[in-house]
Structure 1
Amino acid sequence: MPQQTCMGAMMKCTFGLAPSTLIPTPKPIMTSHMVAANIMDHVPMMNIPPFGMCNCPGNPMVAAATAAALGVLTPMPCIPNTPAPWSPGAATVMLNNAPALDNISMLTCIWGGVITFSNAGQTTHMIP
C-alpha cells in the first residue's frame, strides 16, 4: 500500500553503491511530524543527495575512468542528475500545487539509474 514520503525517506539507485535520504523542500505540510514531499522534490544535491559511488557505464565520469583502467569498470563519485519530477506520484493528493510523493514513485537519473524508495520515512508511534 502506498505511503506518503517525508524527510528522511530512504532511497536507493540501481547504479548507486550506497543508500541516500530524501530532503524535501520545506513546506508547511507535515506527515508523521516530518516535512512532506511532493513530486517536485527532485533537485540534485538539494533534494537528492549522492548515492556514494556510481557504477553506471553511461555516466561520463565512470566511462572515462573505466577507459583509463583498460576496460575494468571503475566506479566514480555519484553526482545525481535528475531533471524530471518523480513519477507517478499520488494523483489524488496535492501538496503545494503538485501531486504528493509516495513510496512507489520512481525518479530517473540522466546517467541511467532509477531511484526508488526502500522506506517512506514515516515512523509508527506507540501510544501508552
Structure 2
Amino acid sequence: MGAPAVVTTAQVVCAMGAAPATLTVLPVSRVLVEGKPVATVRDMLPLVNVPTFGMCMSLANPSVATATAAALGVLVPMPCVPVLTGPWSPGSAKTLVGGAPTVQQSSMCQCAYGGVVQVLLPGATKTFIG
C-alpha cells in the first residue's frame, strides 16, 4: 500500500519559513483525486504552485542577511519568496500523470536559500498511491 495522494490544498512547510502554506496544483493534467488535481514533481513553481511561507529565517536569503547585518547580527526574518532549485524528489516510481511522477508524502524540494520544502498534509484522505 502507498501513501495518501498529494493534491491541490496539500499543506507544505519549509524548514526556514515561519508558517505552512497550501500547495496549488493547476488542473492542466486533468487527473483528479478526490475531486482535486493531483500533484506531479513538476508542480514546484514559486508563487504559482508553492506560495510564500510567511517570513524567511535563512541567512542565505540576501534580504534576511542584509536586515540581520543592519540589526548588528540579531536575526531579522524577511518576507519569504521561495526559490526552488528543482522538482519534487523523490517522485512516485509507480504512478505517472502526464508523463511525470506524482508527488509523494515523502517528497521534498530544495530552496536556493537553504530551506527544505516538505509535505505536511497530503490533501487526499481516501486515495493512496504507490
When normalised by structure 2's length, the TM-score is 0.92
Q: Does the 8 Å CA contact 1:43/1:83 hold for their aligned counterparts? A: no
State the secondary structure of the residue aligned to 1:48: coil
CA deviation after TM superposition for structure 1 residue 3, in Å: 2.2
How far apart in 2 are the matches of 1:59 and 1:109?
A: 10
Percent of aligned pairs sharing the same letter: 41
Q: Are residues 1:25 and 2:62 paired?
A: no
1:31-110 pair list within 5 angstroms: 31-110=33-112
How far apart in 1 are the matches of 2:4 and 2:125?
A: 11
CA deviation after TM superposition for structure 1 residue 33, in Å: 1.1
Q: List gaps (5 residues or longer) in structure 1.
A: none
Deviations 1:96-123 (A, max 9, x none): 1100111110010010000011100013
When normalised by structure 1's length, the TM-score is 0.93
State the secondary structure of the residue aligned to 2:69: helix
Q: What stretches of structure 1 move > 4 A for 4+ residues in a row? A: none
1:2-17 pair list within 5 angstroms: 2-17=3-18
Q: Does the 8 Å CA contact 1:93/1:100 hold for their aligned counterparts? A: yes
Count of aligned residue pairs for this structure pair: 124
Q: List gaps (5 residues or longer) in structure 2.
A: none
| Higher RCO (C-alpha 8 Å, min separation 6) | 2
State the secondary structure of the residue aligned to 1:105: strand
Q: Does the 8 Å CA contact 2:9/2:24 hold for their aligned counterparts? A: yes
